[in-house]
Structure 1
Amino acid sequence: MTNAKLEHVNVTVSDPRATAGRLTEWFGWQVRWHGPAKNGGTTYHVGNEDSYVAVYAYAKPTETPTGRLNHIGVLVDDLDAAEARITASGIHTHSHADYEPGRRFYFDDPDGIEFEVISYA
């Protein structure tokens, strides 16, 4: 079994820059990264070296509510072993990507919660 850790939670907000500013002020966190995201949106990763909150907004106003959980990010030591356990339970994985500095894939659990599984190994 790999040593899995909660790495991040990704939520939709109305203004990621403003939300990032509040989180840094309230908790002493730092902006780890910010930039373009899916669907032409913008994301800020705000936290410390171990974990973060990803605050995301679509490029254009949408009917998708703010405060919505987008996905939960789980950091694992062995991505292939984690995926094997997940697919063995009948879950379909998708959106595999190799990127600097790691690899990842996504899946939806039976309740419709999206998970991102990441490895930097």
Structure 2
Amino acid sequence: MPTARLEHVNIRVSDPERSAAFFTTLCGWHERWRGPAIDDGFSIHLGTDDQYLVFYAPKEGTSGRFEKGVPLQHIGVEVDDLDEAERIVIAAGLEPFNHANYEPGRRFYFYDWDGIEFEVVSYAG
């Protein structure tokens, strides 16, 4: 049976620079690529050497070809220090919610500036 891994997730945001700066601080990721994207838009690829998020914005003044998908529930990121991650989220003016501590780890959630929900989880003991 073939195996697969999640390579990237492409999300539409209002300000790719702001999102990339925030996730660089939150996750310690590096910029893999930036440049022109579909429909005269702009993208920043941010992550690790093996996986990344794409922060995409259509050309200013247009809605782009694709509307935001309703089925997306949240995107999860794993961090080593959940308390520090929460401080970074709050410092960015975002509001953590739904804190939980159950096997296999602790977690909280937040919405970014575009209403995308993220789960931040730590499996550190």
The two structures have a TM-score, normalised by structure 2, of 0.49
CA distance in 2, matches of 1:37, 1:55: 10
Matched residue count: 67
Counterpart check, 1:52 vs 2:52: yes
Structure 1, unaligned runs of 5 or more: 70-121
Structure (1/2) with the larger strand percentage: 1
Higher relative contact order (CA 8 A, sep 6+): 1
Secondary structure in 2 matching 1:5: coil
Tell me by how many angstroms 1:63 deviates.
Answer: 4.1
Q: Deviations over 1:23-70 (max 9, x none)?
A: 101110111111100000000011111110000001123346xx935x
Structure 2, unaligned runs of 5 or more: 70-125
The two structures have a TM-score, normalised by structure 1, of 0.50
For 1:28, the equivalent position in structure 2 comes to 28
Secondary structure in 2 matching 1:32: strand
Counterpart check, 1:42 vs 2:42: yes
Sequence identity percentage = 42
CA distance in 2, matches of 1:20, 1:11: 12
Tell me by how many angstroms 1:17 deviates.
Answer: 1.3
CA distance in 1, matches of 2:68, 2:9: 11
CA distance in 1, matches of 2:30, 2:23: 8
For 2:87, the equivalent position in structure 1 comes to none
CA RMSD of aligned residues (A): 1.9
